[in-house]
Chain A
Amino acid sequence: MTNVAGAPGAQPAAEPAAPRKGSETLHYARRNPKLLIGLGIVLAFLLLGLIGPLFVDHGPNEYVGPQSQPPSGEFWLGTTSFGQDIWAQFVFGVRTTFLIGVFGGGVAFVIGTAVGFIAGYKGGIVDEILNMLTNVVLVLPAMVVLIVAIAYLDARGVFVQGLFIGLTSWPWAARAVRSQALSLATRDYVDLARLSGRRTGKIITTEIAPNMSSYLVMSFILLFGGAILIAAGLDFIGLGPSDGVSLGLMLESAVAWSALQFGMWWWFVPPGLGITVIVSSLYILNVGLDEIFNPKLREL
């Protein structure tokens, strides 16, 4: 997922905060339709995932209605061929989607930024080794590794899935953070901190990270979206959380029970649409952020 927002080359190193920067950022933020629309949709879905399930008085996998019903007043998104309420599955699935995004994206973010910062700041042999590691994990096709790894697990949960996704999808973030940290590590104020004998971790967290905070936020959003897509793929293959509900699992059962052949579009359209809308809103939100933080992109 490097080809999405904030692609390489698009931004020079983050600049040290200028006094007026805050208000200027806000000024652009309020006027950026990409940011506002993206953020609006993401928040709306988050809200749906948070409170939607509270209004469903039966389990998402319970057989509560007539079988194979198209959307109606009673079952907003219709029912599966077993009589499960698709709306109920959808709102629970949205919740899982955010959960896996935060968790999988979070793990990847922590590993990626840690590796990137240390490699970029320390340089030398440490950089060499971490860079090699990054390249190796980058080349390995994450999804296929995940399939093999997860296939052997008998009991699977959202967190295990998120952990595995995080472990395989951090490399590009590490690369990006490394190049940013490299350019920042040579700045005067970092030199000063180093000369005054402060510890590496302290310098990274107090001097370097704040100066590239916007970049880090954007990396996290991309990892978040990527984790959602990977999780959906795994769920679809049948390696999702056992006995759970997710948008990917909905797609899986729709295909497994021939929703396609029976023309039950209400079974497979909503989950895919949900994923697409959430993830694309995240990406578009990210472009908006990029335009705000990176003056070069403000005008075309």
Chain B
Amino acid sequence: MWRYIGRKLFVYLLTFVIAVTINWMIPRFMPGDPVRSMLARASVGNPEALERMTTYYNEVFGLDTPLYQQYFSFWGGLLRGDLGVSVMLYPEPVTDVILRAVPFTLAVLLPAILLSWVVGNHFGAFAARSKILDNTILPLGYVLTATPYMWLALLLAWSLGVVAGVFPVANGYSFSLRPEFTWLFISDLISHWFLPFLSMFVVALGGWAIGMRNMIIYELEADYSNYLQALGAPRRLVRKYAFRNAMLPQITGLAVQLGTIIAGSLLTEIVFNYPGLGTLIIQSLNSRDFFLLQGIFLFVVVGVLIANFIIDIVYVLVDPRTRVQMTGGSS
């Protein structure tokens, strides 16, 4: 058990180190002077402010010290939780800007992932019931997984937002309202949240349905399914077992798909100008705010690693086979 977890933790730690190193390397080894190009694009009007910023960023990059020292001071800052100061919103620290956006991203991402996983699994299992269902649900699932997240977001925004006028198509809440704990504000928040959520949910659905369909067919052909049927067990029981067993690899699938789904949520946010990390990425790209961009990168990587680790633990707890092997069950 601990060996397994230790091994996983090692991979995640290694990934983190590599991600940080990539993050450190990219601005230093790409052609051009990152500070100048960054500040040139940031269009800072006041020359005095520009000079202050230039001094600050030169210092942060520490371009005049040896590379290994730059590397270690980068880590040092990181471990103090210091990701630098945003250019776009100077002098606000990058960490603060990101933390403001994270709740919006999570609010769309988590429900969309979990609900699409649950519903998609049921659809997939349903598809495996007959040839006709299989031939209708399966292609639909493939069309959904092939749909670019931003395109479905555009279609929904256009049809339900612009044409039907049911939902707002931009921002996290109406500008006329101030964030407060009132019914008016919360309902406004929800109506802005709904379309981004829906489009994420629908696109992600297809992948889970397909995965489940493939897994459950495999389980329905497994020996234990055959034996139960030979003993006259009803299809209901056989399906129940197959579904449960097919769910287990789908938990691992959750970890594998995470990167793709997160990318999808970033794209979806951009369409709706939803104030999460995706929109922040676009803004930081437009104003060449590399500190912010890299901060977001690290946040996402850490989030993915934590989620992966949680999924690993859940899998061990849910699958009796790994659980028994790890606790060294008596036999």
A interface residues, Cβ below 8 angstroms from B: 1-10, 34, 132, 135-136, 138-145, 147-149, 151-154, 172, 225, 229-230, 232-233, 236-239, 248, 251, 254-255, 260-261, 263, 265, 268-269, 271-273, 275-280, 282-284, 287, 296-297, 300
Contact = CB atoms under 8 A, between A and B. Distances in A.
Contacts of A143: 259-260, 262-263, 266
B12 A260 contact: no
A273 B217 CA distance: 31
B263 A139 contact: no
Given A139-B305, A260-B157, 16 more contacts: A1-B145, A132-B14, A149-B26, A151-B293, A154-B31, A230-B263, A232-B148, A232-B150, A233-B148, A233-B149, A237-B270, A255-B150, A277-B146, A280-B139, A280-B147, A283-B145
A145 B22 contact: yes
A140 B150 contact: no
Nearest to A152: B30
A139 B146 contact: no
Nearest to B147: A276
Contacts of A255: 150, 154, 270-271
Contact of B285 (A132, A136, A237, A279): A237
Contacts of B193: none
B262 A144 contact: yes
A283 B262 contact: no
Nearest to B220: A300
Interface in B1-32: 11-12, 14-15, 18-19, 22-23, 26-27, 30-32
Given A139-B308, A141-B301, A151 B263 contact: no
Nearest to A296: B221
26 contacts: A3-B256, A3-B257, A4-B142, A7-B210, A9-B215, A9-B249, A10-B217, A136-B11, A136-B15, A138-B256, A139-B304, A140-B259, A141-B304, A147-B297, A151-B285, A151-B293, A225-B146, A230-B263, A237-B267, A260-B169, A261-B169, A265-B158, A272-B152, A279-B146, A280-B147, A300-B131
A139 B154 contact: no
B32 to A, nearest CB: 7
A41 B207 CA distance: 21
Nearest to B8: A135
Interface in B223-282: 249, 253, 256-260, 262-264, 266-267, 270-271, 281-282
B196 interface: no
Interface in B144-201: 145-152, 154-155, 157-158, 161-163, 169
Contact of A275 (B22, B151, B308): B151
Contacts of B161: 260
Contacts of A279: 146
Contact of A236 (B19, B138, B148, B305): B148
A251 B151 CA distance: 8
Interface residues of B, number: 75
Interface of B: 11-12, 14-15, 18-19, 22-23, 26-27, 30-32, 34, 128, 130-131, 134, 138-139, 142-143, 145-152, 154-155, 157-158, 161-163, 169, 207-208, 210-211, 214-215, 217-218, 221, 249, 253, 256-260, 262-264, 266-267, 270-271, 281-282, 285-286, 290, 293-294, 296-297, 300-301, 304-305, 308
Given A10-B218, A147-B293, A152-B27, A287 B138 contact: yes
B217 A233 contact: no
A9 B262 CA distance: 25
A4 B260 contact: no
A219 to B, nearest CB: 15
Contacts of B282: 237-238
